[in-house]
């Protein structure tokens, strides 16, 4: 036993103090006692284990101070979070030159953070939140290491943020809310292109917010409310941004007109002015829009009708005029509406009365007429104050007079209706003329000599020509677009009535000869692939400035549509119900088969580089096929290294090493597929991590907190209790795949083996020979933190797993 180097006893229901006998394990390198009920002080002999590299004591009941000299100078990761420790953070931690991860959150530590921690050359993840720390952050923090994550929220830290947080060009998350910070937000953060989460709220920051932050392409969450910050917003917010909360500051200028994926936009109590753009329709996923307490003028645009996911709308205390759009009454999810304190006039649209409000306030406007009958009850007694022109047909609302009807009202409505109908007729006529002109012009162009320049390279026997494909590239056949191109569904006029999917790759210029040869080589490799779980590439059609990839058409669309978009469930197959668990598991196995084939049965291995639920397509029988294999590589410019700039990956699915390794391997696909597994179990989108930024981090935090699986899984499958064990294995496998370092993740062959073991429909003779079995690990309740599961050295970790089986 004295030669033991790896001891993992997490979630073993241990209690009492750590026995002194463990102090004799002088060869110990990895000690994990997390998720137990151990108490007392942390014994001083632990810090004298000179070979100790990984120490995890989190989620116990340890108390007291950390005393004694730290002699374990080789420590790489130290986690004592979620205990009852107090006193100062030891100065000796600043001597741990190999330390990369330091977690001491959810304790009672006090005093200042040792300045020497800022000098550690390998520190990339620092989490000290929810303590009683004071003083300032180490001024050198981030200057000497590639800092990746900083969480010091819920303390009493003051002073300014260090200037060098992003010097290592790797910073993704900064959470310092609920402290006493002052001064300006460092301008250097404006050059930090890797940022995806910044939470500075409830501090005393002043001055201009760095405008460069709005250009960080991975940015998903910005919460900077309750400060004294100023500045302006760009006209278009980047597509990744899902949450922007900046109320109670001094921002000015106009409201952005576009933010495609924004879910929460709270900018109340600032100095924004101008009108709300009709391009507001570009925020179609918005759930909360709060702009109260600004200087916004003009009318409420009709484009608000495009915000079909909106549940909260606050435009109070502005300078809005005109009428309340009737379109507001047709927003199916709207439950909170505050338009008070404006200059709105006219009647309250009857459609507003059809909504089921939790909160409604239309007070202090210039509204007139009878309020809708469904709103004439005491629940809305405070909703119509200081609107002297309003009336009620009953006496149910105090301070509102009873309506007196006049015959002229009907004539007024009729005239208004006539004007609206005439305008709509004119707009419709002009639209028909314009569309007809464009169609004629396009047909002439298509029927001309342009077709002669297309070249078709086939990989299968075809019953169509390039002319059939090119003529089908019409707007009516378009079914989607993304970062790599536009997709068309084309019904061919051949005898079989074949349907194909055509991807037109974005490219506005002629390719040089080197890139042309690389593109052709990639396409020929992909065209030669024959596998049941990979979408078949039928042919490639090219000309100087365009590339068309023609694939077999998948009747049931993408997994993304079925998991996240209710309208995508009605695909014409006659099935519109959500995916049940056996179907989800079958999809996971099919996707794993396709990836495993490309990684392990092709020579050389082929990476996908952009695995995501929208690239997993479903046949009529819900068989899964991987789409867009190799397309990310085809889009790389000549001379670019295989780094993050050369990967067409999507936020939420990209592995951490894409941000710092110059050469990546197929483990990036494993990470992305792990996110897909988490989507299948939870029903959440890859970038839906709330304050944690992305789904992978959210899932790990929920797991670490000990959340019940029933509270995590998709509500669409919560009644399928028969399959709860399988869901738990797949969820834990998703965590395992999304480990932080590539070497700790399983291969796709290993992932496939675990998934096959989950499916009782697969008979034993059809199962693969077990080369690796992660099931014992995955079935351990509330295992250790993700880094200790999947980020340990691969050889040692697998050796340890073999001992568990």
SS (H, E, C) 649-670: CCCCCCCHHHHCCCCCCCHHHH
Q: Who's near 107: CB < 8 A, 6+ residues apart? A: 80, 81, 82, 83, 84, 85, 86, 130, 131
- Check if the beta carbon of residue 391 is closer than 8 Å to that of residue 347: no
- Rounded Cα distance between 150 and 253, Å, is 31
- Rounded Cα distance between 463 and 675, Å, is 38
570 classed as catalytic: no
How many other CB atoms are found less than 10 A from the CB of residue 694?
28
The torsion region of residue 296 among left (phi > 0), alpha (psi -120 to 50) and beta comes to beta
Residue with tokens 């695909």: 571
The one catalytic residue in 32, 106, 610, 669 is 610
- Rounded Cα distance between 302 and 328, Å, is 9
* Nearest Cα to Cα of residue 626 among 588, 654, 655: 588
Residues forming a β-bridge with 480: 487
* Nearest Cα to Cα of residue 749 among 738, 761, 760, 737: 737
- Rounded Cα distance between 568 and 557, Å, is 8
- Rounded Cα distance between 133 and 460, Å, is 67
- Percent of the chain that is helix, strand, coil (3-state, to 5): 30, 20, 50
End-to-end CA distance of the chain: 20
673 phi and psi angles, rounded to 5 deg: -65, -35
Burial category of 572 from C-beta neighbours within 10 Å (exposed 0-12, middle 13-18, buried 19 and up): exposed
- Check if the beta carbon of residue 101 is closer than 8 Å to that of residue 125: yes
- Rounded Cα distance between 402 and 769, Å, is 81
- Check if the beta carbon of residue 19 is closer than 8 Å to that of residue 44: no
Q: Who's near 630: CB < 8 A, 6+ residues apart? A: 522, 525, 526, 606, 607, 608, 609
Measured CA to CA in angstroms, residue 467 lies from 328, 457, 506, 553, 707 at distances of: 46, 13, 20, 18, 57
Burial category of 160 from C-beta neighbours within 10 Å (exposed 0-12, middle 13-18, buried 19 and up): middle
SS3 103: strand
Angle at 103 between CA 98 and CA 109, to 5 degrees: 115
- Rounded Cα distance between 540 and 547, Å, is 7
Q: Who's near 316: CB < 8 A, 6+ residues apart? A: 292, 293, 338, 339, 340, 341, 342, 361
- Check if the beta carbon of residue 75 is closer than 8 Å to that of residue 98: yes
504 has binding-site annotation: yes
Residues forming a β-bridge with 205: 183
What b/e string do you get for 623-648 counting C-beta neighbours within 10 Å, with b at 16 or more? bbbbbbbbbbbbbbeeeeebebebbb
Q: Who's near 750: CB < 8 A, 6+ residues apart? A: 771, 772, 774
SS3 366: strand
Which H helix or E strand runs over 435? helix 408-447
- The binding site for ATP comprises 504
Residues serving a catalytic function are 610
Enumerate the known binding-site residues. 504
């Amino acid at each position: 036993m004295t030669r033991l180097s790896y001891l993992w006893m997490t979630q073993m229901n241990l209690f009492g103090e750590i026995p002194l006998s463990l102090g004799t394990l002088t060869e110990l390198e990895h000690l994990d006692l997390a998720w137990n009920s151990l108490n007392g002080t942390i014994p001083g002999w632990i810090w004298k284990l000179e070979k100790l590299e990984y120490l995890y004591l989190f989620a116990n009941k340890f108390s007291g101070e950390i005393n004694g000299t730290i002699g374990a100078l080789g420590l790489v990761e130290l986690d004592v979070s979620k205990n009852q420790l107090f006193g100062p953070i030891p100065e000796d931690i600043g001597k741990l030159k190999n330390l990369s991860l330091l977690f001491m959150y959810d304790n009672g530590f006090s005093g200042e953070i040792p300045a020497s921690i800022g000098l550690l050359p390998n520190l990339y993840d620092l989490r000290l939140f929810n303590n009683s720390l004071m003083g300032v952050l180490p001024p050198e923090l981030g200057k000497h290491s590639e800092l990746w994550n900083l969480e010091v929220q819920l303390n009493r830290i003051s002073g300014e943020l260090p200037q060098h947080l992003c010097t290592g060009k790797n910073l993704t998350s900064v959470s310092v809310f609920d402290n006493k910070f002052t001064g300006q937000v460092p301008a250097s953060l404006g050059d930090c292109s890797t940022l995806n989460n910044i939470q500075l709220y409830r501090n005393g920051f002043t001055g201009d917010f760095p405008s460069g932050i709005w250009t960080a392409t991975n940015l998903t969450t910005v919460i900077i409310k309750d400060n004294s910050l100023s500045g302006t917003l760009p006209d278009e917010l980047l597509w990744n941004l899902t949450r922007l909360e900046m109320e109670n500051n001094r921002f000015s200028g106009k409201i952005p007109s576009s933010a495609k994926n924004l879910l929460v936009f709270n900018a109340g109590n600032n100095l924004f002015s101008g009108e709300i753009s009709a391009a507001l329709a570009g925020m179609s996923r918005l759930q909360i829009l709060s702009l109260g307490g600004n200087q916004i003028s003009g009318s409420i645009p009709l484009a608000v009708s495009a915000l079909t996911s909106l549940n909260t709308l606050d435009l109070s205390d502005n300078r809005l005029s005109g009428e309340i759009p009737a379109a507001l009454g047709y927003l199916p999810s709207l439950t909170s509406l505050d338009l008070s304190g404006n200059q709105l006039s006219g009647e309250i649209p009857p459609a507003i009365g059809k909504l089921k409000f939790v909160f409604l306030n239309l007070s202090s406007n210039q509204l007139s007429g009878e309020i809708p009958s469904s709103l004439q009850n005491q629940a809305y007694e405070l909703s119509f104050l200081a609107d002297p022109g309003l009336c009620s047909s009953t006496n149910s609302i105090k301070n509102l007079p009873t309506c007196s009807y006049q015959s002229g009202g009907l004539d007024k409505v009729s005239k208004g209706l006539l004007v609206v109908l005439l305008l709509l007729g004119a707009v419709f006529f002009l639209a028909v003329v314009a569309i007809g002109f464009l169609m004629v012009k396009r047909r002439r162009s298509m029927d001309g000599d342009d077709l002669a320049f297309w070249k078709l390279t086939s990989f299968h026997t075809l019953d169509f020509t390039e002319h059939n494909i090119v003529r089908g590239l019409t707007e009516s056949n378009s079914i989607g677009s993304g970062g790599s191109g536009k997709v068309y569904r084309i019904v061919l006029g051949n005898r079989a009535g074949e349907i194909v999917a055509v991807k037109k790759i974005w490219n506005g210029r002629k390719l040089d000869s080197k890139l042309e040869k690389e593109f052709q080589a990639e396409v020929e490799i992909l065209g030669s692939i024959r596998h049941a779980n990979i979408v078949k590439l039928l042919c490639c059609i090219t000309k100087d400035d365009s590339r068309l990839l023609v694939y077999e058409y998948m009747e049931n669309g993408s997994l993304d549509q079925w998991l996240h978009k209710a309208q995508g469930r009605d695909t014409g197959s006659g099935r519109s119900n959500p995916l049940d668990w056996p179907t989800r598991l079958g999809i996971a196995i099919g996707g794993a088969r396709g990836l495993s084939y490309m990684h392990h049965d092709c020579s050389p291995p082929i990476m996908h580089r952009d695995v995501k639920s929208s690239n997993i397509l479903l046949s009529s029988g819900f068989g899964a096929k991987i789409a867009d294999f190799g397309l990310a590589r085809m889009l790389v410019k000549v001379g670019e290294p295989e780094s993050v700039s050369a990967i067409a990956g999507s936020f939420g699915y990209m592995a951490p090493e894409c941000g710092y390794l110059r050469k990546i391997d197929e483990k990036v696909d494993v990470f992305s597929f792990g996110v897909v597994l988490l989507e299948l179990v939870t029903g959440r989108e890859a970038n839906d991590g709330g304050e944690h930024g992305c789904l992978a981090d959210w899932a790990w935090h929920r797991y670490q907190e000990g959340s019940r699986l029933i509270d995590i899984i998709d509500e669409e499958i919560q009644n399928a209790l028969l399959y709860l064990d399988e869901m738990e294995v797949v969820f834990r496998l998703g965590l395992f795949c999304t480990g932080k370092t590539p070497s700790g993740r399983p291969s796709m062959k290993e992932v496939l083996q675990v998934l096959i073991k989950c499916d009782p429909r697969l008979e034993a003779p059809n199962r693969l020979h077990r080369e690796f079995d992660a099931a014992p690990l995955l079935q351990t309740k509330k295992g250790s933190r993700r880094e200790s599961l999947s980020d340990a050295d691969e050889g040692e970790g697998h050796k340890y797993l073999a001992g568990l089986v």
